[in-house]
Amino acid sequence: MGTLRSLGDSLLAGAQERLELLAIELQEEKLRLIRTFIWVGAALFTGMMALTFASLVLVYCFWDSARLGVLGGLAVFYTVALIVIILAFRRFTARQPLPFAATREEMAEDRACIRTEN
C-alpha cells in the first residue's frame, strides 16, 4: 500500500510540476502577444500617417502637371509594399518558436524515462 501511495504521490507531483510550467509558459505567450499587438498597432498608426501625408505632399507638388500619374504610381507602390510586407510577416511568423516548447520537451523526457525504466 505504501508503494502505491508513493507512486501516486510521484505521479501527482510530476503532473503538478508540468502544469506549473505550462502556466508559466502560457503567461509568457500572453505577454509576448500583447507586446506584439502594441508594436504592430504603433507601427501601423505611424506608418499610415506618414504615408498619408507624404502622398498628399507628392500629389500637391504635381497637381498641375502629372496628378493622375503620381496617383497611379503611388497606388502601384503601395500595392507592391503591401505584398512585400505580407511575405515578410509570413516569414516572421514561420520563424517563431512553437508555443509551450519547454512543456513539450519535459513531457517527452518524462515519457523517455518511463520507457527506459521498463
The per-residue pLDDT for range 9-57, each reduced to its tens digit, is: 788 888 888 888 888 888 998 999 999 999 999 999 998 999 899 999 9
Contact 28, 103 (CB under 8 A): no
Residue 37: all three cell numbers together:
499587438
pLDDT (tens digit, 9 = 90+) per residue, 93-115? 888 877 777 777 877 887 777 77
pLDDT of residue 46: 94
- What is the Cα–Cα distance from 94 to 44, expressed in whole angstroms? 21
Q: Are 110 and 14 spatial neighbours (Cβ–Cβ below 8 Å)?
A: yes
Global model pTM greater than 0.85 = no
Q: What is the pLDDT of residue 45?
A: 94
Q: Rounded to a whole number, what is the largest CA-CA distance in the chain?
A: 94
The residues spanned by each domain of the chain are: 2-117
Q: Which residues contact 14 (CB under 8 A, 6 or more apart)?
A: 110
